[in-house]
Amino acid sequence: MKRLAGCALALLLAAPCFAGDASGFDPAAIDRCLGDASTQGARADCAGTGMEACLDYARGKYTGDDPDFPMANCLDASHQAWEAKLTGVYEAALKTQGEKGADPQESLRQAERSWLQFREDLCNQARDAAAEGKGDLARARCIRDETARQVALLMALGSAE
């Protein structure tokens, strides 16, 4: 929301606006990478896939003076794509488990809740430990990487079905 507001303001000032533009990121790149990967580790390694193309696009378009902006924008777009992937994998697993009974389904919900808490702690730690001024990028990267890792885990846990 803050970013959207900033974008609107930039438009009003007739300044070049790039904020929130995720069109440089191709979510299908993630699917292709996951499709080619055969192990949990290889799937987790897909975390950064699509970033280079996004950064090229963002650096070409962005004319502002924040050197971290293209990276922040692409990490955000990449995280959103992984979050959508995670929702898909999680919902599918919930559905499968729901057919088996309440216990496995509830344990999956519990696992997701505790994962979210852990991700929050871990990535706040990454933010606090980062060099001066780089905390937000470190946190965004951590959130994106851990989300990709969780997709890989849920895919591995669901692999025997």
Partner 1 sequence: MRLLVLFLLLAAGPVLAQDGPRYDTDGFAKCIADAEADASAAPGLRSCIGEASTQCMATPGGETTVGMVECLGHEAKDWDKLLNGYYERALKAAKAADADLAELGSAAEPAAPALQQAQRHWIAFRDSSCRYESLRYQGGTLGGPAAQDCVLRLTAEQALRLRDIAEGME
**Which residues of this protein are in contact with partner 1, per CB under 8 A?**
40-41, 97, 100-101, 103-104, 107-108, 110-111, 113-115, 117-118, 121-122, 124-125, 128-129, 149, 153, 156-157, 160-161
Report in angstroms how near the CB of residue 108 gets to partner 1 at its nearest: 5
Q: What is the DSSP string of 57-82?
A: HHHHH--SS-TTHHHHHHHHHHHHHH
CB of 9 to partner 1, least distance (A): 31
Query: Residue 17 or residue 75: which is nearer to partner 1 going by CB?
Result: 75
Q: Is 75 exposed, middle or buried (0-12, 13-18, 19+ CB in 10 A)?
A: buried
User: Which residues are CB-contacts of 145 (< 8 A; sequence separation ≥ 6)?
Assistant: 47, 48
14 vs 131 by CB, closer to partner 1: 131
Q: How far is the CB of 140 from partner 1 (least distance, A)?
A: 17
Distance in Å, CB of 100 to partner 1, minimum: 6
CA distance 150 to 157: 10
